Amino acid sequence: MPEPQQPCYITTPIYYVNDRPHIGHCYTTLLADVAARAHRLMGEDVFFLTGTDEHAEKVSKAAAERGLSPMEWATRNAERFRDAFRFMGFSNDDFVRTTEDRHTSRASAYIQKLVDSGDIELGDYEGWYDPSQEEYVTESVAKEHDYNSPVTGKPLEKRTEQNYFFRLDKYEGWLKERIENDTIRVLPPARKNEVLGRIKQGLQKVPVSRRIKPGDADWGIRMPNDPEHRIYVWIEALCNYLTVVDEPGRRKYWPATVHLMAKDILWFHAVIWPCMLHALGEEPPRTVYAHAYWISEGRKMSKSLGNFIEIDQLRAYAEKYSLDALRWFLTTQGPLGATDADFAHARFVEVYNAELANGIGNAASRVGNMIVKYFDGVVPACSKTGFTTESTEGHGEENKWDEIASELVCRSINACEEVRLDESLRAGLELSNRVDAFIAATRPFSIAKEIDKGTHADPARGREDLHAILYQSAEALRIASLLLWPAMPSKMAELWRNWDCSPLHDPDDPDSGFRAPLSELATWAHPRWGIKPGSTVRKGEPLFMRADAKEPAPGGVGS
Ligand code: ME8
């Protein structure tokens, strides 16, 4: 049956290859992966792009320090990013390197188009030049160092040079209106206010080129109309989002559904890039989402402090607690909103035990084990969608499972549309926790024991209750597992294999795609996708073993 295929395009920043990847790069790409998986699960035609930004001066400098050509160093690090992303289980559809022809040729063409339309023009650039370093420094840096070189202490010179400028100023009104009315959604809301506040101070022309100086590394894309100039790396890098889909068969993905990044580079994405696109006659992105930073054990991560959480440390966590547990922790505890988040080992173990080992893992084992124990692993039949539990005060509480599940599925989808991915996942955890509470309230193990011992007051009713409790719990957990899948694709696929209900094309491959969209898959007791009475449940290994909080952090992260 053909599925509705709404195109959806999700991007991450393209990362500098002057150095190796760390937790920050993995985090944004993980968010993109979770979003991409969630949208695929909803039946959308998703294109998820990540990649590397290679033409920066810091790349050629880092290469020179190692006696390598910029391309050799860039290639080595691009491979490290690819490796890290493979290890994290990312499902990106492409990986762009800005040194590839497909990018350089189209980026040049866009710049030429902007020159032709008069949106890029030659102008004078005036700034503080450091002759000892052959570079311009910003007004604030110059002032801070009393107009002397921050590196050598020699006097700075006020210099003027000709550069190409993009007429950002022309689009101030256009942009302001679109951000204000959410045609371009800037999220989270605090970031929207911040960007609007800055726009209101006025937009100025931005330099888009650098004149090539003698001795410069031959690195970067030249201005198509003036090869004495190189396109400023930021301007060219932004173009990657369009260069990769500007080809037959991929145009349908434009405009981008969401550009993801951290707050450091929001201005480029929420202001400069939409205006460049508008000038090119292209639609601006629908959403620009800027999260906050990971910090480490309470301190900002920086090169000078040397406290970046490295990929090897993430690998050690994945090895000890499983990759899916790491993905869960990062997505649900990370700096998705406006505040920074701390990577602390103690917190990891706390979340792992509470939400995974004692949460979804325990709920799935309990329900699976009871079906194995009381019904020889054959899922019992149950026609009811609700169950009334007796409370101690004698008031019954009705558990309308079909309604509970559909409400949480809706909540999950709505949160996902607003990139609140942690909340989207939490809806799945909440459903699983409801099952746990349901079992605690209905005590199926006591009912089974009483029937077995012949002490149950009404054994026929008892058996019926046992059927209903276990069928409903299993079906609710099946739906919960769909909502948890974007963060934990392998563990959820494992559960589906044990419960003989895989919604995947290939039950052994969590990336094989779903056989129906979430709207169908998550329907309570769906005749095709629901847990089927009579099907077999295997007693599998626990999805998550409990962790000992006293054990040291794997890979040596913090306390
Ligand atoms: O800025 N916490 O590349 P970049 C969370 N090439 N995320 C972090 C982080 C942290 N502590 N540190 C880095 C560039 N990130 C440009 C982008 S796009 C056209 C060009 C993540 O290698 C976060 O996504 O410095 C941030 O925006 C990005 O890495 C910066 O990566």
Which tens digits make up the pLDDT trace of 184-205? 999 999 999 999 999 999 999 9
Contact 343, 335 (CB under 8 A): no
Query: Is the CB of 319 inside a 6 Å radius of any atom of ligand 1?
Result: no
Q: How far apart, in whole angstroms, are the C-alpha atoms of residue 557 and residue 245?
A: 39
CA 262 to mean position of chain CA atoms: 11
Q: What are the tens digits of pLDDT across the range 480-511?
A: 999 999 999 999 999 999 999 999 999 999 99
SS3 state of residue 513 = coil
Give the span between the Cα atoms of 187 and 95, in whole angstroms. 25
Query: Residue written as tokens 């696109």?
Result: 277
List, as own/partner pairs, every contact residues 64-70 make where C-beta atoms lie below 8 angstroms and the sequence separation is at least 24, other chains included. 64/217, 70/217, 70/219
User: For residue 3, what pLDDT band results from cuts at 50, 70 and 90?
Assistant: low
Q: Which residues pair with 157 in a beta bridge?
A: 129
Q: Write down the pLDDT at residue 480.
A: 98
pLDDT of 35: 98
Which atom of ligand 1 is nearest to 263's Cα?
A: 27
Residue whose CA is closest, atom 27 of ligand 1? 262
d(C-alpha 465, C-alpha 471), whole Å: 10
Ligand 1 contact, 486 CB (< 6 A): no
Tell me the pLDDT tens digit for each residue of 418-429: 999 999 999 999
Distance between CA atoms of residues 86 and 140, nearest Å: 41
C-alpha span between 480 and 471 (Å, rounded): 14
pLDDT of 389 reads: 77
**Ligand 1 lined by 24 (C-beta under 6 Å):** yes
Identify the residue whose C-alpha is closest to ligand 1 atom 13. 24
15 in contact with ligand 1, CB cutoff 6 A: yes
- Report how far residue 401's alpha carbon sits from residue 406's, in angstroms, rounded to the nearest whole number: 8
* Ligand 1 centroid to residue 454 C-alpha, Å: 65
Give, rounded to a whole angstrom, the gap between the first and last alpha carbons of the chain.
Answer: 53
- Is the minimum distance from the CB of 480 to ligand 1 under 6 angstroms? no
Nearest CA to ligand 1 atom 15: 24
pLDDT of residue 381: 93
Say what the pLDDT of residue 5 is: 76
Ligand 1 close to Cβ of residue 16 (< 6 A): yes
Ligand 1 center from residue 283 Cα (angstroms)? 24
Check: CB of residue 262 under 8 Å from CB of residue 29: no
Residue whose Cα lies nearest atom 7 of ligand 1: it is 24
Tell me, in angstroms, the distance from the centre of ligand 1 to residue 100's CA.
21
The answer to whether 314 touches 267, Cβ cutoff 8 Å, is: no
CA dihedral (418, 496, 398, 436) in degrees, to 10, reads -90
Decide: 238 in ligand 1 pocket, CB within 6 A.
yes
**Residue in 12, 14, 15, 304 to alter for ligand 1 test, most ligand atoms within 8 A of Cβ:** 15
| Structural contact between residues 168 and 272, judged by C-beta atoms closer than 8 angstroms | yes
Q: Average the pLDDT over 392-401 and give the result.
A: 71
CA 2–ligand 1 middle distance (angstroms) = 38
pLDDT digits (tens, 9 = 90+) for 504-532: 999 999 999 999 999 999 999 999 999 99
**321 Cα–ligand 1 center, Å:** 26
Q: How confident is the model at residue 4 (pLDDT cuts 50, 70, 90)?
A: low
Per-residue confidence (pLDDT) for residue 300, from 0 to 100 = 82
The pick from 12, 95, 110, 264 for probing ligand 1's pocket by mutation, whose C-beta has the most ligand atoms within 8 angstroms, reads 264
Mean of the per-residue pLDDT values of the chain: 94
Q: How many residues does the chain have?
A: 559
pLDDT over 60 at 11, yes or no: yes
The predicted structure's pLDDT at residue 393: 53
pLDDT above 60: residue 401: yes
pLDDT bin (cut points 50, 70, 90) of residue 559 is: very low
